[in-house]
Amino acid sequence: MKKRKYLFFANSAADAVIINAAKVTDIEILAASGSAKLSVNYSTDAGGDGSVLLDTTDSDAAARAIHRLIAHSNESVINIADDVNSAYIDGVSACGTITHS
């Protein structure tokens, strides 16, 4: 049985989400330079969807890092962007808006 993986994002102590990595529908580069942005889009078990907007220093590197972590990490919970603890993967500088529907 394949180990489940989850992606963690937090832009404050009161606004965070853990996403089942298998539910990620796409990783969209919205801007590659300047005010670089990346959107991690996902579906929910309740039939809805959501997205997490990330500020990046390098959107391409960040998108590739997320993909690589989903495919190869041995961790169950993978921290992608945590503004509370200032912990980010390569290429990510901040967690922006977390949207659920």
**Structural domain contains residue 1:** no
**Structural domain contains residue 23:** yes
pLDDT of 95 reads 96
Domains in the chain, number: 1
Domain range for 70: 6-100
Kindly report, residue by residue over 30-83, the tens digit of the pLDDT: 876 667 799 999 998 888 999 999 999 989 999 999 999 999 999 999 999 999
Is the predicted pLDDT of residue 19 greater than 70, yes or no? yes
pLDDT of 84 reads 97
pLDDT of 34 reads 60
- The answer to whether 61 and 69 have CB atoms below 8 angstroms apart is no
Helices (H) and strands (E) in the chain, counts: 1, 8
